[in-house]
Every structure is written in C-alpha cells, then in structure tokens.
C-alpha cells in the first residue's frame, strides 16, 4: 500500500507539480492564503463568548497578547534544522593515512623501472584495506619522478608531505574537496620546484580522506540546546475595549458584536469579506503583471519574489501601524521591487500594498497618500541606482517628499504646527529606515531567487575581489584582455540597450578558467617558448577549450551568480579553436580523418544579448590586438569579417540580437577600437588566412 501511494505521488509530481502553470498557480494560491491569514490576524478581532450582565473576567483588547504556538514551533524547528551534524576526530584513521603515504612513496622508490601502469596496479593490490587510496590522482610524471629522484631528496619530500597532511587534519577539514584545497595551500608555503610540489600534491591527493566521524550523541545535545534557546513568539496588544471586572451591558454587547468579537452573521460576513478582498488584490496584481510585465509573470521565481515581497511588506505594515499610521512599509516594497525587477512591477506592488493596508487604517487615508507619494519617488530614484551608497539618495528623496506633502496638507487645512510635527517626523524617519532595510535585504532576495541586481554587479566589479586579484597576479595578460573586452562590451551593450553593467562584469570573469593553466595562453607567456609546440594540435585545442569548463567550475566554487556563470559558459558558444584545427589539417597525413567537432567548444551558444556581445567583443579584441599594422579601415574591415563569420556559423542564432542591432554593434566596436590595442599573436582566434589555407588543402569539413 505504501509503494502504491509513493507511485501515485511520483506520477503527480512528474505530470502535475513540475508544470510551470501549476507552479504559478500554487504561488498565487499560497499568496492569497497568506494575505488572507495576515488580514484575519490583524483585522478580525478574537471571538468571545459573553452575555449581558456577565462580568468580564479579563480585559478585552484587539488584538491581545497571545502565544503564537505555530510560529514558536516553526522557530524551534528552524533552530534545530540550523544545527549541523556534529563530527569527532578519528586519529587512528589519520595514522593509517600516513602509513599509506609512507608505504606508497617507498614502493614507488623501489619499483625500479616499472611502468606507471604496473605501479598503480600493484599499489591497488597492496592497499585494499583501511582508508581509501584513490590512485587516479597519481600521475605518470609523479611516479617517474619518485623512481628517479635521490633517496635523500625523496625522504625530504616525504617529510614535507607528512607535515602537510598533519596540518590539514589539525584544521578540522570534513570533506575531501576542502582537504584538497588546504593541501594545495599548505604546499605553497614551501619553497619547492614545480615537479616537487606536484609530486607531493599527487601523493597526498591519493591517500587523503577526512578523519571526522558522525557523533549522534553530540548532535542530539547541540540540537536540544538549540530547542531550549528559542524564545516564544508573542502577538502584541492593541487598544482596550472592555476592562476586567466591567459588566457587559447591551451597548457593550452590541459593540462587541459589531466589531466581530462574537459569533454572529456579522463576523461571518467579515471573514467572507476578507476572503474576497484578498482574492481581488491577488487577481488584480496578477492581471497587471500579465498585461504590462508578462516576462516577469512567466518566470516562477520572479513571480514568487513579487508576492513574497508583497506579503512580507503587508505583514510588516500591519504590525507597525498599530503604533503609528505613518509606519507603512510601502517605500521598502517599492524599492526592493524596483531594484530587483523593474519600475512597473514596483508600482504595482506599491499600489497593492497600500490597498491591503487600507482596511486597517479605516478612514485615515492621509498616511496612505503619503506612502504612495514616497513610494513613487523611491521607484523613480531606485531606477537609477548604481551603488549601495545611493540608498541615502533614495531614502532622503522619499522621506523629504513625504514630509513636504504632509506639511502642505496640514498647512492647507489650517492645522497648528505642534499638532502635526510628530506625524511628519515619524513619516520622515520611517522612510529612511524602510529604505535602509530594503537595501539591506537585497542580498537575501538575490541569493534566494538567483536575481542579480546592479548593486551586486558593482560589488563583483570591485578589483579587490578574490578572483580578479588572482587574475591580475596569476594571469596578467588575461586580466588585461578581460578589461579591454569589458570596455568594448559595455560600450556595445549601451548602444543596443542591453545591460551594459552585466556585460562589463561578465567580461571581467569570462576567461577566469584560464587561471587553471595560465601559461598555455599566449597573452600570459612572458618568454618566446610556446608550450603548445610540445603537444599535438588536438591536445592543445582541448587545453584551450577547457578554459570554459574550468571557468564555470571556478565561478561556482566562488559562488558567482548564475547569470555570470552562464556568460562564462556561453562566451565561445560552439565555435572552433581554429588555429589548432587548421594546424591539424596541415600536419596530419592526408588520409587521416580530422573532424571539426573535435576542435569545438562545448557551448551552448549565447542565449542573451549580453552573452552575444561578450562573444563578439572577446573575438574582436583578440583579433585587433594581433594585427601587425592597424588603420581605421583595416580595423573596420576585420570587425565586419569577424561578426559576419559568427553570423554565418550560427553562433548568434539563439540570442536576442537583431540584424539591425548587430550593425549598431559593429559601429560601436569600430569607434571604440581606435588606437587602443598593442600587438598580439593571433593563434587562438579564427582568421581568414586559416580558412583560405584549409580550403587550399581541400580538407575543410564541418563533420
């Protein structure tokens, strides 16, 4: 029976829950229920059982302080879930790992002239018990090095390896990946030659495995402590309607009935009214999104973000207006939606938020008007936000506008200054605080929904970021190339109305994969020696093309946003490593089959305007830099040829660039390139000479 229900759930999940329409429907349903629930809590009074002549046994308030058991239990569960599994150190495991380390090194040293494959096979037979020995990390070069090096030198390296692995274990590493990272870091602290460091790295990668084991007792203790540390969630008090000991009379009973405290048709009508009210707000918001921002409504994540911000803003305002009607979080809702989505969606959210607050404030419409005006100003200013310091400008603009509006309103109605100065001060300070909270919450929404804002992009463009500093130090040529590509991409993106900041930042990181093997890329070679002369064209092409995959891995390790990872993945599309492809055509025997697909990047092709622009900027910058003699005419001719080549190859088929926009891009590239670049060897990029040479050989193939 259990298996039957599991099968039903799997089918339900596969054919129902995974459909985008169903997901969006669930988002709307959840939003409706949450809005109704918040309305019920803050608008509906608690149900009471009282009669005329009965003395009130307690003070009746709306609402009154109560323990929110659901929220408290949720907080308890969250606190328990936040406690990770506890692990304790196993020193016996570490001793066995070191024994394996010594044993493998000694065997390699005394394996004479045995082939590396034979050495690995013998080691796999000897080390079958105890900690896992992963021989895939033991390279042929390291085995030969261990066979040939002097015993004294080998013992010295073995001592370093033992010291390194002990330091790794002392650091409390619990995963193989983190252990490998720390091994590399520790090896770098020794003054070793490359072959020595590589030998130690391979040996330690082969034998290392974490020494921490799970402890159920310690885990249980930590989670029990977390449970006991949770504070109960309390719902605050409102105004007093009936004091304790006060006799209930007809007037009070009717007041309680009218207010909805008693079970009656009035209370039932109020509940039904809240249901319809919540439904209408969600429905109208959805219609506005579908009509004016259909692309956002079509994306489940962004639709969820819109309603989540709306629900959280409604919850916040519903609570705060109990203290002052001017503590409405409309400015925060508008700012978050404007920065993360767009200005139209922000206006829809602002309007929906203030409509939701209206029943709580009743006839006091002035705070709602000031909230709408402040929110509209915040949307206008947020639309040009380029750094976190702009939040001061947003906060001051919204708050000053609200204060001036209230001042004008009170002056228009002949109010005395001292009677409304507190309201103006609260509205002014609330606007500033809400904007600060909104900007501070952006990282949470960005990380949760995978949305990258201009603020996040500016943070990523900081040259002191770890990856950019690594590029500058370890691959300076690539770093300089990336900066030039960024300049080109930004100018081009501006010209066609694409996200120029995203194009610039994506360009900064598009070649980050070259950090893995920087010396194999010509811009980083400081001598005349070309490492690729030692390898076959196919292997060189594999090394060159692998920088895209390596870049994706490095970007994910450093938690770059998905949009940046996509730009790294797509910046070469499915293009060909032309230099080595044509070199293979020339060097291989005429009867051998050389497939173009073996020299292609894995793709995918650019999916957005920004990705297509970065692809073009990357190719153009490299090609123009490689020109021996540059003139405006030659540069323009080269740009036209490169862009046409990408078009003919279909590399731009899947992005949103139109032919008209591509013409605009060409003009922008040509204008920006004048007199900027110095010479650069041209082997990595497609050139017309390569194509002509392959055609003359009669071996051009797309297979």
pLDDT digits 0-9 by tens, 195-243: 888 888 888 888 888 887 777 888 888 888 888 888 875 544 455 556 5
Q: Which domains does the chain have, with CATH numbers?
A: 6-47+263-449 (no CATH), 50-62+238-259 (no CATH), 69-86+216-234 (no CATH), 87-214 (no CATH), 457-697 (1.10.3210)
Q: Which one is predicted more confidently, 280 or 218?
A: 280
What value does the mean pLDDT take over residues 547-566?
89
667-695 average pLDDT score: 58
Give residue 684's pLDDT.
45
Task: Answer for the pair 84, 223: CB distance below 8 angstroms, yes or no.
Answer: no
What's the Rg (C-alpha) of the chain? 34
Is residue 521's pLDDT more than 60?
yes
pLDDT confidence of residue 681: 42
Outline where 571-658 has alpha helix (H): 578-587, 609-626, 632-648
Place of tokens 């105004």: 239
pLDDT for residue 47:
66
Higher pLDDT, 532 or 614: 614
Angle at 464 between CA 558 and CA 381, to 5 degrees: 90
Is 415 or 508 the better-scoring residue by pLDDT?
A: 508
Whether 365 shows a pLDDT value over 90: the answer reads no
Which long-range contacts link 686-691 to residues 24+ away (Cβ below 8 Å)? Answer: 686/575, 686/576, 686/578, 686/619, 686/642, 686/645, 687/578, 687/579, 687/623, 688/641, 690/578, 690/579, 690/581, 690/582, 691/578, 691/582
Considering only 160-169, 191-200, 587-596, which range has the smallest mean pLDDT? 587-596
- The confidence score (pLDDT) of residue 38 equals 93
pLDDT band, very low/low/confident/very high, at 62 (cuts 50, 70, 90) = very low
Residue partners of 209: CB distance under 8 A and separation at least 6: 93, 97, 131, 132, 176, 179
* pLDDT score recorded for residue 617: 93
With a CB cutoff of 8 Å and minimum separation 6, the contacts of 303 are 24, 27, 289, 296, 297
> CB under 8 Å to 110, separation ≥6 — which residues?
none
Task: Evaluate if residue 91 carries a pLDDT over 70.
Answer: yes
Identify which of 259, 237, 238, 255 has the alpha carbon closest to the alpha carbon of residue 246.
Answer: 255
- Cβ–Cβ under 8 Å, residues 568 and 513: yes
Is the pLDDT score of 637 beyond 50?
yes
The least confident of 58-67, 140-149, 629-638 is 58-67
Helical H segments across 450-560, by residue range: 454-460, 466-474, 476-496, 500-509, 537-557
Q: Give the confidence band of 316 by pLDDT, cuts at 50, 70, 90.
A: very high
Tokens describing residue 574: 């499915």
- Checking if the pLDDT of 676 tops 70, the result is no
Please say if the pLDDT value at position 17 is more than 60: no
pLDDT of 303 above 80:
yes
Asked if residue 245 has pLDDT above 80, the reply is no
Q: What residues does 212 pair with on adjacent strands? A: 89
Q: Would you place residue 655 in the very low, low, confident or very high pLDDT band (cuts 50, 70, 90)? A: confident
Instruction: Provide, rounded to the nearest whole percent, the portion of the chain with pLDDT above 70.
Output: 79
Alpha helices in 110-139 (DSSP H): 116-126
């Amino acid at each position: 029976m259990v298996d039957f229900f599991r099968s039903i759930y799997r089918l339900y999940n596969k054919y129902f829950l995974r459909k985008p329409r169903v997901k969006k429907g669930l988002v709307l349903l959840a939003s409706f229920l949450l809005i109704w629930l918040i309305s019920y809590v803050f608008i509906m009074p608690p149900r009471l059982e009282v009669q005329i002549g009965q003395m009130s046994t307690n003070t009746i308030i709306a609402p009154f302080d109560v323990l929110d058991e659901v929220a408290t239990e949720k907080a308890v569960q969250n606190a328990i879930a936040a406690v990770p599994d506890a692990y304790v150190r196993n020193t016996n495991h570490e001793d066995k790992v070191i024994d394996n380390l010594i044993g493998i090194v000694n065997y390699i040293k005394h394996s004479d002239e045995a082939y590396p494959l034979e050495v690995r096979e013998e080691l796999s037979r000897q080390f079958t018990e105890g900690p896992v020995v992963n021989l895939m990390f033991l390279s042929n070069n390291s085995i030969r090095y261990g066979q040939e090096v002097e015993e004294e030198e080998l013992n010295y390296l073995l001592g370093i390896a033992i010291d390194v692995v002990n330091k790794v274990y002392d650091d409390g590493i619990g995963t193989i990946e983190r252990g490998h990272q720390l091994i590399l870091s520790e090896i770098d602290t020794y003054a070793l030659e490359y072959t020595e460091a590589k030998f130690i790295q391979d040996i330690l990668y082969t034998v290392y495995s974490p020494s921490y084991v799970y402890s159920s007792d310690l885990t249980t203790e930590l989670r029990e402590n977390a449970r006991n540390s949770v504070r109960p969630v309390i719902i605050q008090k409102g105004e007093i309607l009936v004091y304790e000991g006060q006799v209930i009379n007809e007037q009070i009973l009717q007041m309680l009935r009218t207010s909805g405290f008693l079970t009656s048709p009035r209370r039932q009508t109020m509940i039904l009214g809240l249901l319809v009210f919540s439904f209408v707000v969600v429905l109208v918001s959805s219609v506005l999104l579908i009509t004016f921002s259909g692309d956002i409504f079509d994306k489940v994540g962004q639709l969820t973000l819109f309603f989540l911000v709306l629900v959280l803003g409604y919850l916040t305002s519903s609570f705060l207006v109990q203290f002052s009607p001017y503590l409405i979080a409309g400015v925060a809702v508008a700012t978050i939606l404007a920065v993360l989505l767009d200005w139209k969606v922000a206006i829809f959210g602002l309007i929906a938020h203030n409509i939701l607050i209206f029943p709580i404030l009743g006839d006091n419409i002035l705070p709602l008007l000031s909230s709408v005006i402040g929110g509209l100003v915040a949307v206008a200013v947020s639309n040009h936000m380029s750094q976190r310091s702009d939040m001061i400008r947003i906060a001051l603009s919204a708050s000053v506008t609200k204060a001036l509006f209230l001042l004008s309103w009170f002056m228009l109605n002949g109010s005395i200054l001292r009677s409304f100065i507190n309201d103006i001060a609260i509205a002014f300070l609330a606007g500033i605080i809400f904007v600060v909270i909104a900007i501070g919450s952006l990282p949470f929404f960005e990380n949760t929904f995978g949305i990258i804002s201009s603020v996040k992009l500016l943070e990523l463009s900081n040259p002191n970021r770890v990856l950019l500093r690594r590029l500058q130090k370890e691959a300076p040529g690539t770093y300089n190339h990336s900066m030039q590509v960024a300049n080109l991409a930004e100018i081009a993106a501006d010209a066609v109305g694409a996200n120029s900041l995203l194009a610039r930042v994506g360009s900064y990181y598009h070649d980050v994969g070259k950090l893995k093997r920087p010396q194999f890329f010509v811009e980083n070679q400081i001598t005349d020696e070309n490492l690729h002369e030692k390898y076959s064209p196919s292997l060189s092409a594999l090394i060159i093309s692998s920088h895209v995959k390596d870049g994706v891995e490095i970007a994910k390790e450093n938690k770059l946003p998905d949009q940046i990872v996509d730009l790294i993945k797509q910046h070469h599309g499915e293009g060909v490593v032309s230099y080595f492809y044509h070199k293979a055509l020339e060097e291989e025997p005429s009867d051998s089959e050389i497939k173009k697909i073996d020299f292609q990047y894995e793709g995918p092709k650019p999916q957005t305007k920004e990705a297509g622009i970065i692809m073009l900027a990357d190719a153009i910058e490299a090609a123009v830099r490689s020109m021996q003699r540059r003139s405006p005419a030659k540069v323009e001719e080269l740009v036209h040829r490169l862009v046409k080549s990408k078009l003919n190859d279909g590399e731009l088929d899947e992005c949103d660039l139109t032919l008209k926009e591509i013409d605009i891009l060409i003009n922008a590239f040509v204008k920006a390139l004048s007199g900027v670049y110095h010479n650069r060897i041209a082997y990595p990029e497609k050139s017309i000479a390569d194509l002509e040479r392959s055609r003359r050989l009669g071996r051009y193939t797309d297979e």
